[in-house]
Chains A and B, each alone.
Chain A
Amino acid sequence: MYVAVKGGEAAIRNAHTLLADRRRGDRSVPAIRLDQIVEQLALAVDRVMAEGSLYDTELAALAVKQARGDMIEAIFLVRAYRTTLPRFGYTRPVDTGRMAIERRISATFKDLPGGQLLGPTFDYTHRLLDPALAEETPVETPARRVEAPEQTPRVTDILGQDGMIEADGELPEGSETGDLTREPLSFPLERDLRLQALSRGDEGFLLGLAYSTQRGYARSHPFAGEIRIGEVEVELEVAELDFPLTLGRIRVTECQMVNQFKGSSRQPPQFTRGYGLVFGQSERKSMSMALCDRALRARELGEDITAPAQDEEFVISHSDNVQSTGFVEHLKLPHYVDFQAELDLVRRMRAEHERRDGETSDTQEAAE
């Protein structure tokens, strides 16, 4: 006799107990602490904050630990927490021109006000595994600038002074910046929402699309005008006060791509821009975002839409890794009711096919 499978509840409970066991691993190895993750796996924490859209290093570290290092799972944990938080208001736009800079490079100018500053980068390291790191070895104290330069203007502001490059642009009078976490997206999007989606979009997905634009699928002749990493102040306007309140500082990475544009009968030739801004330190993500942003401006700039990276609905609908992973992995859920329906149809069609085959061979025999 067939007994319908019962005990899903017990199975789930046991699976989760096993998961917790595997997460902890060998008990003779000390458990990893959140401050260790924050300090020593800082770029993992940054990615979780960026794509989780929540700036909190400790929560991100907790998510990394809970997810056993699975980044998308950690991002999902942070998102599901973030969505329950009340909104007190929207901060003023951060002023990256006043950033406390840790790294700043421009690929378009040899030198510029504020200087080039390599900062903590993997660039120019030789990718040789370092056996010394396997042990706890003392680390040298890094050199620091004696005094910070008075001003480090953004490259786009330098180029913008003589109209060589398009300006930052303004939202139309009276329009409010959208919030994709509070309103459903409706295509076509304005650039504010598109940039929000890109900023929380999957690093790998955007990297691949950005790469495709370099290989000829919507080529935009990009130059890394400037990449800067550092801390910016977050300010909130409070109704009772006539000055903005500083809430704190966050680390961000900003990328300004400078791209070619021919100009038109109405406009003189001018460089165009693609923009990337993400939480934490991630040049790869901010550069990919800037390339994708530029490609997605095709409609606005009157360019032919020929490549995937230019297709707003395609890119934005598929850039969110929490959505993507959920729907791809939902194929693990039972589908046997639908499969039964398909089985039934295929069986019926096969039977009809056999009958037809039989009829044809009968006719052939008769003819012979």
Chain B
Amino acid sequence: MTELATYNFAYLDEQTKRMIRRAILKAIAIPGYQVPFASREMPMPYGWGTGGVQVTAAVIGPDDTLKVIDQGADDTTNAVSIRAFFQKTANVAVTTRTAAATIIQTRHRIPEAALQTGQTLVYQVPIPEPLRFLEPRETETRKMHALEEYGLMHVKLYEDIARHGHIATTYAYPVKVEGRYVMDPSPTPKFDNPKMHNSPALQLFGAGREKRIYAIPPYTEVVSLDFEDHPFEIQTFSQPCALCGAKGSYLDEVILDDKGGSMFVCSDTDFCEDRQAKGHRGHLSANPAEAAE
């Protein structure tokens, strides 16, 4: 630890952590409301998870077990890098198992396995403002939230239907939290939206570059915006996972050749590996005898 002597536990100094914790407490008290906080420059670039890292650094303790995923996987390079950062600066236990983690930092996915009471899910958020692409000005969007003026968002969704026959938002699909604030769930596929509703876990969202923190406390109502005649639907896949045979998990398409060949595998690597360990097989997985060798 000598090389780290100049940095505090989990990198941030205690005053900064206190400032972030206050923002988190405020965010929990007003579900879905974006709380401005004095985001710090972190030793990784803005846009690469600095908000999530600051939130995790503010809530993590020596007894925590951390899991970091990017695109649902523990072994993507940025997840590896962030996990290594906390191993180095906080010396905490890490895991890839969703059930074993007390804090899960994520980019773009919510784990398939249902989260439990006591777990905290920390989202990395690039653009926290759900209205940003309709109105680029922060001064305007804050007013719209204050007045609960969300008509523009419904017009946008309606125009999608008029133009494409569908709501053409497939990820970062806006939700309404506890009947009040429209919130950006971060760029998770809309497939994951229902998992946010009434989750027993605490969900924290950190946007470092945009200097905002927001939260969904456990057992909070989270409703995806829709219309009576165009109800919200999640993605479905026509085939199961090629490795574990799971139906109803979110799949990544893996290109196999340059002739249009591809296979679909679970994006949540822990979920997929856990199923395989329990003997589930997909049509492209090795047979159990081979795997055992």
Q: Which residues of A are at the interface with B, using a C-beta cutoff of 8 A?
A: 1-2, 4-9, 11-12, 76, 79-80, 82-84, 86, 181-188, 313, 317, 322-323, 325-330, 333-338, 340-345, 348-349, 352
B252-293 at interface with A (beta carbon < 8 Å): 252-254, 256, 263, 265, 267, 269, 284-286
- Complex CA gap A182/B37 in Å reads 9
Interface centre among B43, B79, B84 (most CB of A within 10 A): B43
- Complex CA gap A186/B35 in Å reads 12
Interface centre among A12, A80, A328, A340 (most CB of B within 10 A): A340
Q: Contact at B75–A338, with CB atoms within 8 Å?
A: no
Q: Contact at A8–B80, with CB atoms within 8 Å?
A: yes
Q: Contact at B284–A2, with CB atoms within 8 Å?
A: yes
Given the known A-B contacts A8-B77, A349-B164, are A336 and B71 also in contact in the complex, defined by CB atoms under 8 Å? yes
Q: Is B109 an interface residue (CB 8 A)?
A: yes
Q: Distance in Å from the Cβ of A181 to the closest Cβ of chain B?
A: 8
- Complex CA gap A328/B126 in Å reads 11
| Chain A residues, Cβ within 8 Å of B265 | 2, 4
Q: Contact at B108–A335, with CB atoms within 8 Å?
A: yes
Q: Distance in Å from the Cβ of A59 to the closest Cβ of chain B?
A: 13
Q: Contact at A327–B71, with CB atoms within 8 Å?
A: no
Q: Contact at A344–B235, with CB atoms within 8 Å?
A: yes
Give the segment of B24-32, B44-52, B114-122, B147-155 that binds chain A. B44-52
Chain B residue, CB-CB nearest to A312 = B139
- Complex CA gap A276/B278 in Å reads 66
Residue in A86, A185, A338 whose beta carbon sits within 8 Å of that of B189 in the complex: A338
Q: Contact at B77–A84, with CB atoms within 8 Å?
A: no
- Complex CA gap A93/B55 in Å reads 35
Chain A residue, CB-CB nearest to B165 = A352
CB-CB contacts of B118-160 with A at 8 A, as 1s and 0s?
A: 0000000010000000000111000000000000000000000
Q: Is B40 an interface residue (CB 8 A)?
A: yes
Residue in A5, A83, A186 whose beta carbon sits within 8 Å of that of B75 in the complex: A5
Give the segment of B97-105, B166-174, B197-205, B224-232 that binds chain A. B166-174
Which 6 A-B pairs have CB atoms at the shortest separation, nearest pair first?
Answer: A326-B46, A330-B47, A326-B45, A341-B170, A327-B47, A184-B36
Chain A residue, CB-CB nearest to B256 = A2
Q: Contact at A313–B139, with CB atoms within 8 Å?
A: yes
> What is the size, in residues, of chain B's interface with A at 8 Å between Cβ atoms?
66
- Complex CA gap A333/B187 in Å reads 13
Q: Contact at A340–B80, with CB atoms within 8 Å?
A: no
Given the known A-B contacts A80-B42, A340-B251, are A184 and B77 also in contact in the complex, defined by CB atoms under 8 Å? no
Q: Contact at B170–A342, with CB atoms within 8 Å?
A: yes
B163-212 at interface with A (beta carbon < 8 Å): 164-166, 168, 170-172, 187-191, 209, 211
| Chain A residues, Cβ within 8 Å of B187 | 335, 338
Given A185-B211, A338-B187, 16 extra CB contacts under 8 A:
A1-B286, A2-B254, A4-B73, A4-B269, A8-B80, A9-B80, A12-B84, A79-B41, A181-B38, A188-B139, A325-B46, A326-B45, A327-B46, A337-B71, A338-B170, A349-B165
| Chain A residues, Cβ within 8 Å of B84 | 9, 12
- Complex CA gap A187/B138 in Å reads 7
- The contact sample of 29 A-B pairs, CB cut-off 8 A, is A1-B286, A2-B242, A2-B256, A2-B265, A2-B284, A4-B73, A4-B269, A6-B75, A8-B77, A12-B84, A76-B41, A76-B45, A322-B46, A325-B46, A326-B45, A326-B48, A326-B209, A327-B209, A330-B48, A333-B70, A336-B71, A337-B171, A337-B250, A337-B267, A338-B189, A342-B170, A342-B171, A344-B170, A349-B164
Given the known A-B contacts A11-B77, A184-B211, A338-B171, are A329 and B41 also in contact in the complex, defined by CB atoms under 8 Å? no
| Chain A residues, Cβ within 8 Å of B46 | 322-323, 325-327, 330
Given the known A-B contacts A2-B254, A323-B46, are A345 and B166 also in contact in the complex, defined by CB atoms under 8 Å? yes
- Complex CA gap A84/B5 in Å reads 13
| Chain A residues, Cβ within 8 Å of B40 | 83
Q: Contact at B126–A330, with CB atoms within 8 Å?
A: yes
Q: Contact at B170–A349, with CB atoms within 8 Å?
A: no
Q: Contact at B108–A86, with CB atoms within 8 Å?
A: no
Residue in B38, B71, B188 whose beta carbon sits within 8 Å of that of A184 in the complex: B38
Q: Is B220 an interface residue (CB 8 A)?
A: no
| Chain A residues, Cβ within 8 Å of B65 | none
Interface centre among A1, A84, A181 (most CB of B within 10 A): A84
Q: Distance in Å from the Cβ of A49 to the closest Cβ of chain B?
A: 15
- Complex CA gap A184/B38 in Å reads 5
Q: Is B243 an interface residue (CB 8 A)?
A: yes
Q: Distance in Å from the Cβ of A199 to the closest Cβ of chain B?
A: 16
| Chain A residues, Cβ within 8 Å of B219 | none
Chain B residue, CB-CB nearest to A1 = B286
| Chain A residues, Cβ within 8 Å of B209 | 323, 326-327
Residue in A184, A187, A352 whose beta carbon sits within 8 Å of that of B39 in the complex: A184
- Complex CA gap A80/B243 in Å reads 42
Chain A residue, CB-CB nearest to B84 = A9
Chain B residue, CB-CB nearest to A53 = B41
Q: Contact at B80–A337, with CB atoms within 8 Å?
A: no
Q: Contact at A337–B47, with CB atoms within 8 Å?
A: no
- Complex CA gap A186/B37 in Å reads 11
| Chain B residues, Cβ within 8 Å of A9 | 80, 84
Q: Contact at B45–A12, with CB atoms within 8 Å?
A: no
| Chain B residues, Cβ within 8 Å of A325 | 45-46
